[in-house]
Amino acid sequence: MQVRRLSDIEGTDRDVTAASGTWRSKRLLLASDGFGYSVSETVVYAGTETDICYANHVEAVFCISGKMILVDRDEGEEHVIEPGTLHILDDADNHTIKPVVDSTFLCIFTPALTGREDHDENGVYPLLTDEMVESK
């Protein structure tokens, strides 16, 4: 058994910020932990917009605090995401996240993230393995 706190993550290489500066994520559980999924606490910043499409992963995103507009660009719909809401990205969903205030989420990905992913120009995370990351 292990016990891991956000305070253990802060300032380590598991504490990652997007190159765009639109979010910061504390990667609590990663592929290197030997799980089939990763678990992160992610904060997205008020007034930002991030286009996302997870072509290589599925993700469940649970809102802990804040308020965010989730734009479903495939369906042309908007959803208001508030605490207690889960959005489920299971079909390479093209979407844009627009936090109204700083908003905090629990993010669970399969396959597990390595911790080195960032959104590319299409909002996709590459499918990385620890072997690929370590050889860099």
Ligand X SMILES: CC(=O)NCC[C@H](N)C(=O)O
Binds ligand X (CB under 6 A): choice among 42, 53, 93, 112? 42
Residues facing 15 on adjacent strands: 26
Q: How far is the CB of 117 from ligand X (least distance, A)?
A: 7
Q: First CA to last CA across the chain, in angstroms?
A: 31
Residues facing 99 on adjacent strands: 68
Q: Residue 61 interacts with ligand X (CB under 6 A)? A: yes
Q: Residue 114 interacts with ligand X (CB under 6 A)? A: no
Stretch 20-39: interaction string toward ligand X, x if CB under 6 A: ---x-x--------------
* Per-residue three-class SS string for 101-117: CCEEEEEEEECCCCCCC
Q: How many CB atoms lie within 10 A of CB 60?
A: 16
- Of the candidates 81, 29, 83, 91, the residue with the CA atom closest to the CA atom of residue 59: 91
Stretch 64-103: interaction string toward ligand X, x if CB under 6 A: ---------------------------------x------
User: Which residue, 40 or 94, has its beta carbon nearer to ligand X?
Assistant: 40
Binds ligand X (CB under 6 A): choice among 26, 30, 37, 40? 40
